[in-house]
């Protein structure tokens, strides 16, 4: 197996809808692909007591996250018959309604694309050293907890 340098998958701020559209367009020449699966994580305006989340400030242990993502990538290509996979995660401030996680898998057939996409999302949430600080309108905050 060839050794690849971990690719930086962090994006400063929100992930733009136009970037997602371009990512899909970029695959139009890959005619062996018959199925794409996409997961988009959007910042939710959770209400806690009488306060509402306005944005999430993401931080990460970036060097470790890149190594982890590289390992997840290798596992996915070993387990599923994927043509390609792309993962992008925000760092810094992302407001409610904006996208902070973009997982994009492609395969000849739908099953591999769908199953890999789902597994990547679960592993991103449970294995990547990334933290979200939920910011409220009154300058207060709480640390996000994944369910």
Partner 1 sequence: MSIHIILFGRLADIAGSSVSLDNVADTDGLVRALHSTYPALAESKYVIAVNKQVITSNTSLDENSVVALLPPYSGG
Contacting residue, 101, 107, 113, 117, with partner 1 by CB under 8 A: 101
Candidate ranges 17-25, 54-62, 76-84, 104-112; the one touching partner 1 (CB under 8 A)? 54-62
Nearest CA among 49, 80, 78, 58 for reference residue 124: 58
Smallest gap from residue 127 Cβ to partner 1 (A): 7
CA dist 102 and 19 (Å) reads 10
Please identify which residue in the block is written with the tokens 């600080």. 133
CB 114 within 8 A of CB 62: no
Query: DSSP H helical segments within 7-61, as ranges?
Result: 17-25
Smallest gap from residue 97 Cβ to partner 1 (A): 16
Contacting residue, 12, 25, 126, 139, with partner 1 by CB under 8 A: 126
| Site of interaction with partner 1 (CB under 8 A) | 41, 58-61, 63-64, 67, 89, 100-101, 121, 124-133, 143-146
């Amino acid at each position: 197996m060839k050794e690849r340098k971990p690719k930086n998958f962090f994006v400063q701020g929100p992930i733009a809808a136009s970037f997602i559209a371009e990512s899909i367009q970029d695959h139009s020449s890959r005619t062996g692909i018959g199925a794409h699966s996409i997961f988009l994580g959007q910042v939710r305006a959770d209400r806690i007591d009488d306060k509402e989340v306005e944005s999430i400030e993401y931080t990460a242990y970036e060097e470790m996250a890149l190594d982890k993502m590289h390992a997840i990538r290798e596992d996915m290509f070993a387990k599923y018959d994927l043509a390609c996979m792309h993962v992008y995660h925000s760092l810094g401030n992302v407001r409610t309604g904006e996208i902070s996680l973009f997982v994009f898998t492609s395969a000849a057939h739908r099953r591999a694309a769908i199953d890999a996409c789902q597994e990547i999302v679960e592993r991103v949430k449970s294995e990547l050293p990334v933290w979200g600080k939920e910011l409220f309108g009154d300058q207060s905050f709480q640390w996000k907890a994944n369910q």
